[in-house]
Amino acid sequence: MTRPSTDAVVIGSGPNGLAAAVTLARAGLEVTVLEAQSVPGGGARTLDSQLADGLRHDLCSAVHPLALASPFFAALDLPARGVDLVVPEVSYAQPLDGGRAAVAYRSLDRTVAELGVDGGAWRDLLAPLVEHERLLTALILGNRRELPPGLLTGPGLRAVAAAVTRLLEQGTPAWNLRFRGGEAPALLTGVAAHSIARLPSLAAAGTALMLATNAHGAGWPVPVGGSQAITAAMIADLEAHGGRVVTDCEVTSWRELPRARTYLADLAPAGLLRIWGDRMRPSVRAALGRFRHGNAAAKVDYVLSGPVPWADERMAGAGTVHVGGSRADMAHAEAQVADGVLPARPMVLFSDPALHDPTREVGGLRPGWAYAHVPAGHPADVTDLVTAQIERFAPGFRDVVVASRCIPAARMAEHDANYVAGDIAAGALSAWGMIARPRLSINPYAAGIPGVYLCSQSTPPGPGVHGMSGWHAARIALRQRFGLPAPSLAP
């Protein structure tokens, strides 16, 4: 039997798979996306969690620091496509023991004013980066092989120098030198901890500096309706250009695939090896086989009868809350995770999207979104640990919890095979990994088989809902396989 044929097949409909599909379809190719799960979107899905009638939870991403800052999304222009991105006035906050908190407002001035003794140090750390947010974001979200326009100018080089010196400071034991109090370092460490890595480290400092810069720049938006709104906008554009998404279609071997001139895999290296391992160049197969996954997240979805009663009322409007205590507390918890130990007081990320999007509240109930950092593959239900951490800074939290459920790290891959053992970044975050992700190669997207490319967050620039890995990989596929330039993404 002859297999059907098409121009391009994308495996996986996460943000990067869809970014690749949209790019290829806009270049005039016939594109089919094959998705294992019944709902497309990967890490950008908003689903009925079956906890309360009509209430929907973001399965993975909830807050989108890169939805406005990513060059791919900026070009796609999500707001022009009807995605309502609400930018909270408080980008993120860090509750501390004793009823206090440190707060990162979108306004740098207000943040500095409320950080007291370390206000000046905060401004000195971030103001030079915020001034060049677009350029630095384009550099960090680049493919590590090309430089963004404007970088090799006086202001561009000064911005890079400012970023590098701050990276070396915050990514090393020198990280406490600039601070005198406890609030500012805790505030920054909450962002650094997104990397789920030992602290301090260069990769964590890079994460902190980029996201903290975005927090005072484009902001950390919450999409009305949840993350699925971003997925829906990309699928609408794909379909408008003749593409399609087929769900409930898990690909296990290249033999099942339609014939195509190119394949883009929105997969972790393990998924790529499973499908194409027997056809891959041995050196590439060996290199991808050595790919290292990181530690993990265990998700907790809450149904809440009202907002969280944070002890510090300035936190009431925070888009994201980093629940981990002081800098030393968080460094200790992340070190335990790195050592394979489940912390008694884990690092927790929390968001209450209904604060910014009233459509998320149904019948007086609202979704509470949380996850805790745990060792890779850990089977624990962490609900009690997460609840206790939040209660520590919000006495009475237990009284607003109506229902909850946990997805342990060991079960995350059932919802998205890329999250191997609960590794939500699909690859450990390390300084070396920034250069050699997924392997050391001139073309990190090449899968070692002509026409096959990896386009997931396991490739540069790495984790987050930004679409950039898909965009970079699709541009290479267009050039190498079809001799076509990158298309416009404008609505």
Ligand X SMILES: Cc1cc2nc3c(=O)[nH]c(=O)nc-3n(C[C@H](O)[C@H](O)[C@H](O)COP(=O)(O)OP(=O)(O)OC[C@H]3O[C@@H](n4cnc5c(N)ncnc54)[C@H](O)[C@@H]3O)c2cc1C
Which residues here bind ligand X, judged by CB under 6 A? 11-17, 34-37, 42-44, 60-64, 66, 250-251, 266-267, 271, 297, 299, 371, 416-419, 424, 456-457, 463-465, 469
Contact 426, 236 (CB under 8 A): no
- DSSP string across 329-360: HHHHHHHHHHTT---SS--EEEE-GGGT-GGG
Contact 317, 87 (CB under 8 A): no
| 232-269 as b/e: b if 16+ CB within 10 A | bbbbebbeebebebeeebebeebeebeebbbbbbbbbb
- Residue among 83 and 424 whose Cβ is closer to ligand X: 424
Strand pairing category for 244-246 and 31-34: parallel
* Residue 445 Cβ vs ligand X, minimum distance, rounded to whole Å: 12
* Residue 154 Cβ vs ligand X, minimum distance, rounded to whole Å: 32
H or E segment at 300?
strand 296-304
- Residue among 216 and 373 whose Cβ is closer to ligand X: 373
> Residue 407 contacts by C-beta under 8 Å, 6 or more apart in sequence?
298, 299, 301, 415
- Residue among 179 and 458 whose Cβ is closer to ligand X: 458
> Residue 385 contacts by C-beta under 8 Å, 6 or more apart in sequence?
342, 343, 344, 345, 346, 372
Reference 161, options 151, 150, 148; nearest CA is 151
* Residue 176 Cβ vs ligand X, minimum distance, rounded to whole Å: 28
What is the distance of C-alpha 27 from the center of its chain? Answer: 27
- Residue among 182 and 462 whose Cβ is closer to ligand X: 462
Contact 87, 221 (CB under 8 A): yes
* Residue 349 Cβ vs ligand X, minimum distance, rounded to whole Å: 7
* Residue 12 Cβ vs ligand X, minimum distance, rounded to whole Å: 3
* Residue 275 Cβ vs ligand X, minimum distance, rounded to whole Å: 7
- Residue among 92 and 175 whose Cβ is closer to ligand X: 92
- Residue among 308 and 349 whose Cβ is closer to ligand X: 349
- Residue among 123 and 299 whose Cβ is closer to ligand X: 299
Integer Cα distance of 85 and 67 in angstroms: 8
* Residue 420 Cβ vs ligand X, minimum distance, rounded to whole Å: 10
SS3 462: coil
H or E segment at 189?
helix 183-192
Integer Cα distance of 229 and 381 in angstroms: 29
- Residue among 126 and 267 whose Cβ is closer to ligand X: 267
* Residue 62 Cβ vs ligand X, minimum distance, rounded to whole Å: 5
- Residue among 299 and 475 whose Cβ is closer to ligand X: 299
* Residue 276 Cβ vs ligand X, minimum distance, rounded to whole Å: 11
